[in-house]
């Protein structure tokens, strides 16, 4: 039994793709970094969802839960896209931590408006990274990944917009 477990551990994953070795390396590398960012942003959004307080608690709590749900929906799709391209994907929280560009926020207390502003900036930066990854998809003719990224950019822009409008000071 131990021999079988060891052979499975080292078994090659040879998912067929017509994109070539360089494309597989570049695209799966970029998608794994995106996956790490999305996982980190999901947890940060949930952290703020759990810890938001104040007079607008209910509105902010529900907004952050909606946004976390959108991010969570991206996770499996990104990981499965990596596998479809013939790569391997993230394997642990430590792996996420090594790749993520989204900064954690472990502060004991963050004001609600600071939470929303930080998430707005994180989502805006996620858009920048996805546009760069989209260019890589175009370079390697990966239409399927590009199509997914286009939809995720739209969803992320909506999160940025909602967070911006929620924190904007209006004259009145």
Mark residue 34 as left, alpha or beta (left: phi above 0; alpha: psi -120 to 50; beta: remaining): alpha
Output the DSSP codes for 80-126. Answer: HHHHHTT-----SHHHHHHH--SPP---S---HHHHHHHHHHHHHHH
Q: Residue 73: what pLDDT? A: 98
Contact criterion met (CB below 8 Å) for 124 and 37: no
pLDDT in tens, the chain (172 residues): 455 555 555 556 667 777 888 999 999 999 999 999 999 999 999 999 999 999 999 999 999 999 999 999 999 999 999 999 999 999 999 999 999 999 999 999 999 999 999 999 999 999 999 999 999 999 999 999 999 999 999 999 999 999 999 998 866 5
| 13: helix, strand or coil | coil
Among 135, 25, 30, smallest CA distance to 87 is for: 25
Long-range CB pairs of 66-69, under 8 A, 24+ apart, other chains included: 67/119, 67/159, 67/162, 67/163, 68/42
Whole-number Å distance between alpha carbons of 37 and 48: 16
What b/e readout covers 14-35, taking b as 16+ CB neighbours within 10 angstroms? eeebebeeebbebbbebbbbbb
**Domains present along the chain, CATH in parentheses:** 20-167 (1.20.1260.10)
Helix, strand, coil percent content, the chain, rounded in steps of 5: 75, 0, 25
Q: Residue 18: what pLDDT? A: 77
């Amino acid at each position: 039994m131990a021999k079988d477990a060891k052979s499975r551990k080292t078994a090659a994953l040879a998912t067929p793709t017509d994109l070539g070795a360089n494309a597989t390396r570049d695209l799966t590398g970029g998608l794994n970094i995106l996956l790490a960012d999305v996982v980190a942003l999901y947890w940060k959004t949930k952290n703020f969802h759990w810890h938001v307080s104040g007079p607008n608690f209910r509105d902010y709590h529900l907004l952050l839960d909606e946004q976390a749900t959108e991010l969570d929906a991206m996770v499996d799709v990104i990981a499965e896209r990596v596998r479809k391209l013939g790569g391997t994907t993230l394997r642990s929280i430590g792996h996420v931590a090594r790749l993520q560009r989204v900064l954690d926020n472990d502060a004991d207390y963050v004001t609600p408006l600071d939470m929303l502003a930080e998430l707005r900036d994180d989502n805006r930066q996620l858009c920048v990274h996805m546009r760069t990854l989209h260019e890589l998809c175009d370079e390697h003719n990966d239409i399927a990944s590009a199509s997914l990224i286009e939809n995720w950019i739209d969803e992320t822009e909506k999160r940025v917009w909602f967070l911006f409008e929620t924190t904007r000071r209006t004259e009145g």
